[in-house]
Amino acid sequence: MSEPSRCDHCISGVTCEVQSCEYHGEHSECMASGIEVCTCDPIQQCGVTCKTFRPKAGA
């Protein structure tokens, strides 16, 4: 996947509660051009993580 960028529109149906993410929108929507989700534990596969996360500047 190519590096996502911040868009002027949200990804329909995708919410984000991580306020320290560069792509977190005003109403908890994802403002990235695309997202990549993966398992954070390849053995147990009990959790997932958003690989698109980028720390918000100044956070």
pLDDT tens-place string over residues 4-38: 888 888 888 888 899 999 999 999 999 999 998 88
User: What is the number of structural domains in the chain?
Assistant: 1
pTM of the model: 0.75
* Cα–Cα nearest to 6, from 19, 17, 22: 22
| 38-43 LR contacts (CB < 8 Å, sep 24+) | none
pLDDT recorded at residue 39? 74
pLDDT recorded at residue 30? 93
Expressed as residue numbers, the domain containing 26 is 1-59
pLDDT at 1 over 70: no
User: What digits encode the pLDDT tens for the residues 39-53?
Assistant: 776 666 667 788 899
